Amino acid sequence: MDKKSFKGIQVGVLGLARSGIAAANLAYSLGARVLVSEARTRQQCSKVLPELKKGIDTEFGGHSRSLLNSALIVKSPGIPHHIPILKELHKRNIPVIGEIELAARIIHPKRLIAITGTNGKTTTTTLVGKLFKNSGQSTIVGGNIGAPLAAQTGKISRKTNVVLEISSYQLEDSPQFRPHICSILNITPDHLEHHGSMKNYIDAKALIFRNQTKKDYCILNYDDIYCRKLAARCPGTVIFFSRKTVLKKGVFYRDNNFIVKLPGSTYRLPAELKIPGMHNIENALASIAMAAIAGIKPSVIRKTLSAFPGVEHRIEFSGAPNGVTYINDSKGTNVDSTVVALRSFPAPIWLILGGRDKGAP
């Protein structure tokens, strides 16, 4: 599907969240007639309505059968697949995709890089973006962090690297998505209330590489049993990273060094990180692998790693009143990420937590 194919067709957009607004505006700018359908009331959406381009049609309080006249539906990732209107759309073979898929179909970047996993996605995506920017290359970062990809298509040329954080929800709605470089950082129980089982969750993560060829690269965590098993299913060229194992080929951690062993590229870098925790060693290893494959110089990688401050709400230092250190890890939204954060600090810890188990055992 190219830009010209949108001219005159109706595109239905389900949901008026950030990604829905971006998708609606993009489709409209390409010449489509756009109907945004939102379950909430107009009043509940009043603050974001001005962000829609003039000329886009809207409906509120539910999803009408007008959506059945659409040639394409773009669904917000949080909307479950089992709602009645989606069942009806599927019966009629009307394609339903996500905002990232919509944008990816019309851009032609230098490289499309996508990062998923249960934990570490945002940190790794941000770090990879820094590595490419610090190497002097035009780079945008988006997807599940920052601005939606559909809102950034005008900035993307054939010289631009696109680095995306992508969730299992978004992958389910991206049937043609093909990153040149992708990574699955780890897989532990999460979002099982949505996926229904651990198997379904793993299968959703594996969608990131389903359209790859041997000309593409998939970076997998050798220490994670689920990731290691996925290597056999991946049609791309698999590169492993490991914090615990010395690899014959790949990127691994040994004696406080990051060691790169890839075809035509063998070197070691001191493991100098500002961000604490062994999980961030793993995030760094995955980032190094992606940078090395793209030909970024070791000197740039080392300098970027040593200066990287991390991202907010992830083991973020918040102050030390009366000598007590406070750490904000509010983005640790599953059991494993919380355990990993606790292991990052040797001192006695008071833990304040709450939330839902999201179906985890």
Residue 357 lies in a domain: no
- Do 166 and 229 sit in the same domain of this protein? yes
- Do 147 and 279 sit in the same domain of this protein? yes
Question: Are β-strands 250-254 and 257-262 bridged in parallel, bridged antiparallel, or unpaired?
Answer: antiparallel
pLDDT at 177: 98
**Separation of alpha carbons 222 and 204, rounded Å:** 19
| Total domain count, the chain | 2
Q: Which of 75, 101, 127 is where one domain is finished?
A: 101
- Do 177 and 216 sit in the same domain of this protein? yes
pLDDT at 313: 56
Residue 319 lies in a domain: no
Q: Which residues pair with 250 in a beta bridge?
A: 261
Whole domain around residue 32: which residue ranges? 3-101
pLDDT at 321: 81
- Do 131 and 253 sit in the same domain of this protein? yes
Count CB neighbours of 334 within 10 A: 20
Q: Which of 56, 81, 101 is where one domain is finished?
A: 101
Helices 121-134 and 298-307, packing angle to 10 deg:
130
C-alpha closest to that of 28 among 94, 90, 59, 74: 74
- Do 114 and 93 sit in the same domain of this protein? no
Residue 329 lies in a domain: no
What CATH number is attached to the domain comprising 19? 3.40.50.720
pLDDT at 332: 62
- Do 43 and 118 sit in the same domain of this protein? no
- Do 73 and 132 sit in the same domain of this protein? no
Contact call for residues 11 and 72 (beta carbons, < 8 A):
yes
Residue 344 lies in a domain: no
Residue 41 lies in a domain: yes
Residue 96 lies in a domain: yes
Please measure the distance between the N-terminal and C-terminal CA atoms of the chain and give it in whole angstroms: 41
C-alpha closest to that of 87 among 107, 73, 102, 77: 73
Residue 353 lies in a domain: no
- Do 274 and 162 sit in the same domain of this protein? yes
C-alpha closest to that of 295 among 271, 262, 320: 262
Contact call for residues 68 and 90 (beta carbons, < 8 A):
no
92: left (phi over 0), alpha (psi -120 to 50) or beta: alpha
Residue 9 lies in a domain: yes
Q: Which of 44, 77, 101 is where one domain is finished?
A: 101
C-alpha closest to that of 235 among 261, 263, 201, 206: 206
Cα 110 to the center of its chain, rounded Å:
18
- Do 56 and 191 sit in the same domain of this protein? no
- Do 173 and 243 sit in the same domain of this protein? yes
pLDDT one digit per residue (tens) for the chain, 361 residues: 678 899 999 999 999 999 999 999 999 999 999 999 999 999 999 999 999 999 999 999 999 999 999 999 999 998 998 999 999 999 999 999 999 999 999 999 999 999 999 999 999 999 999 999 999 999 999 999 999 999 999 999 999 999 999 999 999 999 999 999 999 999 997 767 777 799 999 999 999 999 999 999 999 999 999 999 999 999 999 999 999 999 999 999 999 999 999 998 999 999 999 998 899 999 999 999 999 999 999 999 999 999 999 875 566 667 778 677 777 776 566 566 677 667 666 677 777 777 766 555 5
- Do 183 and 95 sit in the same domain of this protein? no
- Do 61 and 172 sit in the same domain of this protein? no
62: left (phi over 0), alpha (psi -120 to 50) or beta: left
pTM over 0.85? The answer is yes
